[in-house]
């Protein structure tokens, strides 16, 4: 399994979806690509055969606007047909701008309103504890999302309930729709905040597969508390003119930009 090639293919599909729809959120989808690629292809016990079962690991995309990222991962895993991606954000398609668990096999929670995804993930992890199940719950948060108070209520509950079956990942790309997070609401410092809530905190390069693997292994080994992986990432990773540019938080490329992006990602425009 070539994770780098799979992540690259996911990035191509993200650009393809957003360009075709002329709508969507490419920046934060591209930044977390490597993490979610690793989750679906190596870390989680999800397959086409058990996708409808509750007896498996779960993933909650708390920053639900990054739905192209999730759809690309499901496609790479074989849970979503490639031809369905072209229906992204189309009126008759099940691939909505925010993921809907009622329509898409493999989507574990409908998300979009920021802060609610992590709350659902905490509930899932509590349910697994009550049922004495070993399945794990993974949840990806945006750094701008961490300006929501509900995030910290969820963290408090996760810590109080000693949810060592819960692994949270922060996509720390520093940018949100209006600019740098420090200029919008200043939610930093994250490490100290998360530790104050009783979480095990790991910091990694979110584009380094070896670091990602090591972090998930440490999270599995942690007992008595949930883990937060702070993944330092680049918004728009892989497309030069999108990288570190908040203007691409929720914008679609034109035909010229699309061709340039696909060429940089090694695909055909």
Domain assignment present for 269: no
**Whether residue 1 has pLDDT greater than 80:** no
Q: Are 148 and 99 in contact (CB under 8 A)?
A: no
Domain assignment present for 171: yes
Range of the domain at 49: 3-264
For residue 4, what pLDDT band results from cuts at 50, 70 and 90? very high
Q: Does the global pTM surpass 0.95?
A: yes
Q: How many CA atoms lie less than 13 Å away from 16 in the CB half-sphere?
A: 20
Question: What does the pLDDT read at residue 268?
Answer: 62
Q: Which candidate, 13, 65, 82, 38, places its Cα nearest to that of 216?
A: 38
Domain assignment present for 47: yes
- d(CA 132, CA 15) in angstroms, rounded, equals 41
pLDDT digits (tens, 9 = 90+) for 109-136: 999 999 999 999 999 999 999 999 999 9
Question: In CATH, what number is assigned to the domain containing residue 217?
Answer: 3.40.50.970
Q: Which candidate, 202, 4, 80, places its Cα nearest to that of 88?
A: 80
Q: Are 96 and 89 in contact (CB under 8 A)?
A: yes
For residue 269, what pLDDT band results from cuts at 50, 70 and 90? low
Domain count, the chain: 1
pLDDT digits (tens, 9 = 90+) for 134-185: 999 999 999 999 999 999 999 999 999 999 999 999 999 999 999 999 999 9
Question: What does the pLDDT read at residue 54?
Answer: 84
Measured in whole angstroms, the distance separating CA 134 from the mean position of its chain's CA atoms is 22
Question: What does the pLDDT read at residue 52?
Answer: 87
Q: Which two tokens stand for residue 135?
A: 């399945």
């Amino acid at each position: 399994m070539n994770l780098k090639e799979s992540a690259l293919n996911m990035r191509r599909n993200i650009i393809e979806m957003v360009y075709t729809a002329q709508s969507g959120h490419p920046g934060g989808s591209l930044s977390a690509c490597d993490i979610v690629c690793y989750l679906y292809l190596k870390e989680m016990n999800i397959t086409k055969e058990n996708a409808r079962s509750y007896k498996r690991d779960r993933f909650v995309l708390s920053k639900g606007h990054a739905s192209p990222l999730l759809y690309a991962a499901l496609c790479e895993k074989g849970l979503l047909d490639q031809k369905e991606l072209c229906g992204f954000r189309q009126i008759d398609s099940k691939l909505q701008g925010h993921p809907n668990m009622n329509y898409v096999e493999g989507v574990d929670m409908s998300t979009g309103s920021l802060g609610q995804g992590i709350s659902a993930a905490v509930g899932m992890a509590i349910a697994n504890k009550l049922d004495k199940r070993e399945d794990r719950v993974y949840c990806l948060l945006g750094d701008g999302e961490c300006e929501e108070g509900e995030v910290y209520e969820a963290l408090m509950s996760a810590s109080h309930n000693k949810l060592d079956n819960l692994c949270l990942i922060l996509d720390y790309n520093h940018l949100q729709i209006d600019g740098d997070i420090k200029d919008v609401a200043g939610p930093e410092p994250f490490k100290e905040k998360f530790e104050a809530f009783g979480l095990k905190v790991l910091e990694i390069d979110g584009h380094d597969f070896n670091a990602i693997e090591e972090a998930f292994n440490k999270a599995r080994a942690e007992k008595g508390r949930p883990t937060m992986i702070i993944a330092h990432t680049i918004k728009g990773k892989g497309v030069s003119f999108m990288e570190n540019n908040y203007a691409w938080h929720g914008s679609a490329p034109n035909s010229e930009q699309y061709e340039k992006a696909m060429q940089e990602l090694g695909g055909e425009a």
